[in-house]
Amino acid sequence: MANKVMNIRMTHTKQSLINSFLHLVAYKDFEKITIADITSSAQVNRATFYAHFNDKYELLDYIMGDSASTAIENRTAGVVKCDQDSINQLVLAVCDFYQVPNIQCRSSYLGLVVPQLKEKITNELKAYLSKSLDHIYTETEKNMYVAIFAQIIHEGAYQWASGNITMNKEEVAKKVALIVVGGLGLSN
């Protein structure tokens, strides 16, 4: 029982640190955020922060990785398929992912975060696509398709999230899904 209480407390504390950080980046440059800022806002001490993360970069990395997998899980319900609807949902998941940290936040945060966001979500897309294409293509073909189509899915969603496309995200998802499914030679 004591272990369960400790795990719940640790989970709650970690979430407090995350919430504190997300609150701070909304109004303060990332470079100027200190561990003291985060711990003060989360109402924990520095030792508690370091029990969870080595530094603010690791905290940021954790937030992004968790957000990427959650966005895909939420849209696909854990079902791994490679059809037009699944690709459509992947594009929407990437749109959702970019909406979580609010891409319009402070510019210093954006310069640091966007490359990391892209890496996190692209890796999650590759993992999903790789599983969905198992036993359909040779390993060489699969590796090629996974890399190319993860980039296409990401770029379509990113163009929407950054405001470069005036279509709604559902229209973008539909168009990107058609390109990917057509490129894979799959039918509905």
d(CA 69, CA 16): 20
The boundaries of every CATH 1.10.357 domain in the chain are: 55-184
pTM for the full model? Answer: 0.74
Confidence check: pLDDT of 122 > 90: yes
Q: What tokens were used for 69?
A: 């997998």
Q: Could you tell me the end-to-end alpha-carbon distance of the chain, in angstroms, rounded to an integer?
A: 50
Determine the pLDDT at residue 4. Answer: 47
d(CA 113, CA 130): 25
Distant-in-sequence, close-in-space partners of 76: CB < 8 Å, separation ≥ 6:
86, 89, 90, 93, 128
Class level of CATH domain 1-53: mainly alpha
The boundaries of every CATH 1.10.10.60 domain in the chain are: 1-53
**For residue range 40-55, what is the model confidence (pLDDT) as tens digits?**
999 999 999 999 999 9
Q: What is the CATH number of domain 55-184?
A: 1.10.357
What percent of the chain has pLDDT above 90?
Answer: 50
d(CA 55, CA 31): 12
Q: Which one-letter amino acid corresponds to residue 46?
A: R
Banded pLDDT at 108 (limits 50, 70, 90): low
